Structure 1
Amino acid sequence: MMFEHVLFLSVYLFSIGIHGLITSRNMVRALMCLELILNSVNMNLVTFSDLFDSRQLKGDVFSIFVIAIAAGEATIGLAIVSSIHRNRKSIRINQSNLLNN
Structure 2
Amino acid sequence: MTIPPIDPWVAAGVVLSTALTDAVYVFFNAAVSMRRRYAAAGWSSTWYVLSAFAVISYTSNWAYVLFAALGAWIGGFFSITALERFAPLPPHYRRDRKN
Sort the TM-score into its range (normalised by shorter chain).
0.3 to 0.5
Give the TM-score of the pair, scaled to structure 1: 0.37
Structure possessing the higher radius of gyration over alpha carbons: 1
More helix by share: 1
